[in-house]
Amino acid sequence: MGISTNSTCLFLVVIGAMSLAGLPSNTAAQMIVAHRGASNDAPENTLAAFELAWQQNADGIEGDFYLTADSEIVCIHDDSTKRTAKVELNVESSTLAELRSLEVGRWKSPKFDGEKIPTFAEVLATVPQGRTFVIELKSDHKIVEPLVAALARLDHANIKLLVISFDEQTVTDCKKRLPNVEAHWLTSFKRKAPGLPYHPSADEIAAVVRRCGADGVGMKSMPKLIDQAFVSRLHAGGCPAFHVWTVDLPTDAKHFQSLGAMGITTNVPKEIRAAID
């Protein structure tokens, strides 16, 4: 029996789809996320850094958030203000008013003098429609309920939210209380001695992701460890997506792009945008 032209076309489409099935997705256009804002050029976790990230055409921003003594959510990386304010206050033991009295831009450059520790609401307000807000929760799971209340109160229509945390319980609680918001468990890698395997392994990561109901994992950038075989094991184990931090070298960005990373978090969004677009 002869094969019709339509049958031949259908056959070719099926074969083409099968050949692409094993390839990583989104290899052409990863989400570029500005780590603590455009933190190479502006003081990290300040409104200046976040606004600059949007000017540099980042797809998203990542900020770090703690709960204050009076249950407000503020944007700062360390549990102390010493490094960026040159005055030492414990963030979780201080009130919003006490933290807002500090100046946190001058350490980077005199031109940023006057920057304050921003609130969650202030950072969210910088995010344009269609862009992404990556929310790293630095406090433990006690921050989840205040976050739920803040998101219920604040306008975030047409903004993609991604909650991330190193704390498994925090991720678990986020998925229970905010089931429609994506959440990634975060991990770095360690080994007991040179030559021994790094942990967690891909299988161990996938097990945590399944256990806490996360939508994926955020991994510290280790290009020699995170290769196609590693990513394949993640997917096989039930981890559907991953992002990486902190990627400032174009060669590393291209490596993770080829593996199908959903996001590349960087201090230099302008440079990484130019490298992978």
Q: What is the DSSP string of 134-197?
A: EEEE-S-GGGHHHHHHHHHHS--TT-EEEEEES-HHHHHHHHHH-TTSEEEEEE--B-SSTTSP
C-alpha span between 205 and 125 (Å, rounded): 33
* Domain span including residue 247: 26-276
In a domain, 17, yes or no: no
Cis peptide upstream of residue 246 (ω within 30 degrees of 0): yes
240, 182 Cβ separation under 8 angstroms: no
C-alpha span between 110 and 179 (Å, rounded): 43
- Which residues are known to be catalytic? 35, 77
In a domain, 14, yes or no: no
In a domain, 222, yes or no: yes
In a domain, 51, yes or no: yes
60 bridge partner residues? 33, 132
In a domain, 13, yes or no: no
* Number of domains into which the chain is organized: 1
How many CA atoms lie less than 13 Å away from 235 in the CB half-sphere?
16
C-alpha span between 120 and 72 (Å, rounded): 8
Q: What 3-state class would DSSP assign to 272?
A: helix
The pLDDT tens digits along the chain (277 residues) read 344 434 433 333 333 333 333 334 434 458 999 999 999 999 999 999 999 999 999 999 999 999 999 999 999 999 999 999 999 999 999 999 999 999 999 999 999 999 999 999 999 999 999 999 999 999 999 999 999 999 999 999 999 999 999 999 999 999 999 999 999 999 999 999 999 999 999 999 999 999 999 999 999 999 999 999 999 999 999 999 999 999 999 999 999 999 999 999 999 999 999 999 8
In a domain, 140, yes or no: yes
Cβ within 8 Å of residue 101, ≥6 positions away: none
In a domain, 112, yes or no: yes
Measured on CA atoms in the order 244, 29, 267, 216, is the torsion positive or negative?
negative
CATH of the domain at 237: 3.20.20.190
In a domain, 144, yes or no: yes
